[in-house]
Structure 1
Amino acid sequence: MQISEVVRAGLLTAVAAGALGVAVPSAHALDQSVIGTPQEQRSPWAVFRFGFSAYKSGHKEQAVEAYKYAAENGQLGARWKLARMYAEGDGVARNDYEAFKFFQEIAAQDVEPGSPDESYVADALVALGGYARTGIPDSPIQANPAAAQDYYMRAAATYRNPNAQYEVGKMFLHGEGGMKASLQQAARWFQLSAEKGHAGAQATLGNLLFQSGKAVRGLAMMTAALERAQPSDKGWIRGMQEEAFALAGEADRRTAIALAQDMIAKGN
């Protein structure tokens, strides 16, 4: 596969600038026209880096072209970036099935835990779990909770991914994917995820503690999780926390708020 003139030109300019220790504006780099870029300057890693620079500068069409070249030549990070762009409709038309195929290629790689590419594989497995859980409309991918459980479990157990650990916890909590419902197993996976700072896991584990009679600790965990949560998660966490606060006594509320503030301050 040949890289288009604009990508090859921009890459050559970026490589030359790096060698000279000077910064070249990305827009200028993308406007150059150079023919015959040497092969060593078209390595998948170099093209991936060029694609990242183009993406950051808002030149997403050029970024996609560079990522595709790098991906086809074995650059795992480029495949992951393309998958995310298609999954989110970022610079390309959203296409979940196209994203699924890229994520599947990443997940098929034999990447050891601790490898620099570990995060790409773990994130791909979590994404595949989500697609398998619900299916993808107008595609061959049908809802398959058992397959979702396999994807999540691989990411959770092999790569210790907190998002996957949280999803495994939810599946144990509700008995999904062929799993037998187990509060103990659910709490174990929520705990592993919560220890890595996952706000959803912290809130859910806090709610389980509250329901088991550990009101102060549970309220404090939900309150701290609400403070740390991403905007997309604040709604359901707030609803859970407010419901628990309404059931708690005044003394427990005050103690829980103080404990939550201590948790937030210490990063616990």
Structure 2
Amino acid sequence: MRIFDATFAALFLILGGQQAAWAQDLAPMRGPIPPRPIPGVMLPEPDLAPPAPPAPSVRPIAPAPSGPAAHTALPIAPFSNARDAIRAWMRDSTAGDKVGAVRALEYAASQGHLTAQFKLGRMYAGGDGVPANDLKAFEYFSKIADENADAIPGTADGRIVSGAFVALGGYFVDGIKGSYVKPNADRAFDMFHYAASYFGDPEGQYNLARLYMNGQGTNRDARQAARWMKLAAEKGHAPARAVFGDMLIRGGDGVPRAPVVGLMWLSLARDSADAVREAWIIERCEAAFAAASPADRSAALAMVERQQFASRSASQR
């Protein structure tokens, strides 16, 4: 399974969908982060509960399955510590010894090494050097999230833990066929909300916005969707830039219509999009510019130029 690979061209049609019936779980989560202002766009402020301090989930994310263990680790190699195992992983990976590399990672992960745990989760999720196994990936990500939910945002560990929460959100959206991990929109909302609010993770913010757009795990709320999408867009997240731009071009549902600013975001999204994996962004940008008036196109391109100049100036300081 690929976790939220951002090939979501259908996102642009979902603002008209019906409100779903799921209720938001009121777990102790930190409130949304106030977004920075965008030129020419004022989004209405939704009612927000006072932010609560971050806290790990009361219940483990991955309950122990009944019966045999979900997976059996490779035999533990005689490493003296996790650091030696990581060195062995790098050496074996360079030499093409996949079995040895995985064994070293398994040892480091068993010693609580976050990078090893996350790397193994990604490997099993994508079948990279090991047989694809989403349940193994889920359990590695769950261990990271369960034991490190209070990691400091912005640190190396914080980025790893945040990535684990985002990955778990993707698994809870779809479930894992043939396993105890069932689709659970409320839990998906919890995972994305924690990554988005506590860690400020742009991928978490983007996926949280999508849940608000669809009404999954929470009431449908286009204003909240726009706010979270804008936060991710401001951090350079290409799909968020494209979706936010489209929302501003369309307007409605409490989101002000701002076609010039929307075109600007779509143009910025196109410039940073992966031409293969995110071809939908390029197509959507071209379609939007083709439908826009010459005046709007010119104004949007001027805004893009100013944004790029500001970014270059900031990077040179």
Instruction: Specify the TM-score bucket, using the shorter chain as the normaliser.
Output: 0.7 to 0.9
- What residue in structure 1 maps to residue 164 of structure 2? 124
Report how far residue 233 of structure 1 moved.
Answer: 4.6
| CA 118–256 in structure 1, closer or farther in 2 if over 3 Å, else same | same
1:251 is matched with 295
Answer yes or no: is the 8 Å Cα contact 2:76–2:103 preserved in 1: no
- For 1:1-268, list aligned pairs within 5 A: 2-3=76-77, 42-110=80-148, 111-114=150-153, 115-177=155-217, 179-212=218-251, 213-267=257-311
Distance in 2 of aligned mates of 1:152 and 1:184? 17
Q: CA deviation at 1:202?
A: 1.2
Deviation digits for residues 166-215 of structure 1 (CA, Å, limit 9, x no counterpart): 111111122111x1111211111112111211111111111111123311
Letter of the 2:180 counterpart: P
Distance 1:52-1:261 versus aligned 2 partners, 3 A rule: farther
Q: Deviations 1:21-66 (Å, cap 9, x if unpaired)? A: xxxxxxxxxxxxxxxxxxxxx2212312331343245332221110
- Please state how far the C-alpha of 1:137 moved relative to its aligned partner: 1.7
Q: Which of the pair has more CA radius of gyration? A: 1
Q: Which amino acid aligns with 2:104?
A: A
2:124·2:131 contact (CA, 8 Å) conserved in 1? yes
Distance in 2, matches of 1:162 and 1:100, equals 21
TM-score w.r.t. length of structure 1? 0.79
Which ranges in structure 1 are unaligned for 5 or more consecutive residues?
Answer: 9-41
For 2:120 and 2:174, locate their aligned partners in 1 and report how far apart those are by CA, in whole Å.
Answer: 21
The 8 Å contact of residues 275 and 282 in structure 2, kept in 1 or not, is answered as: no
Provide the rounded CA distance (Å) in 1 between the counterparts of 2:189 and 2:277: 22
The structure-2 alpha-carbon separation of the partners of 1:123 and 1:232, relative to structure 1 and needing over 3 Å to count, comes to farther
Q: 1:219 to 1:84 in 2, by over 3 A?
A: same
Question: Larger % of helix: which?
Answer: 1
- Equivalent AA in structure 2 for residue 83 of structure 1: G
Task: Report the Cα distance in structure 1 between the residues aligned to 2:272 and 2:156, rounded to whole angstroms.
Answer: 27
Gaps of 5+ in 2: 1-74, 252-256, 313-317
Shift of 1:129: 0.5
Q: Match of 1:258, as an amino acid? A: A
**Distance in 2 (alpha carbons) for counterparts of 1:56 and 1:173:** 44
Measured against aligned partners, the alpha-carbon deviations of 1:215-267 in whole angstroms (never above 9, x if no partner) come to 11111110111110234553221232233223211121123233324434543
Asked if 2 retains the 8 angstrom alpha-carbon contact of 1:200 and 1:233, the reply is no
* Number of aligned positions between the proteins: 231
Higher relative contact order (CA 8 A, sep 6+): 2
- CA distance in 2 between counterparts of 1:264 and 1:233 reads 24
Match of 1:203, as an amino acid? A
What is the percentage of aligned positions where both structures have the same residue? 36
Q: Distance in 2 between matches of 1:233 and 1:182?
A: 28
Residues in 2 aligned to 1:83 and 1:206: alpha-carbon distance in whole angstroms: 33
**What letter matches 1:52 in structure 2?**
M
How much is the aligned-residue C-alpha RMSD, in angstroms? 2.0
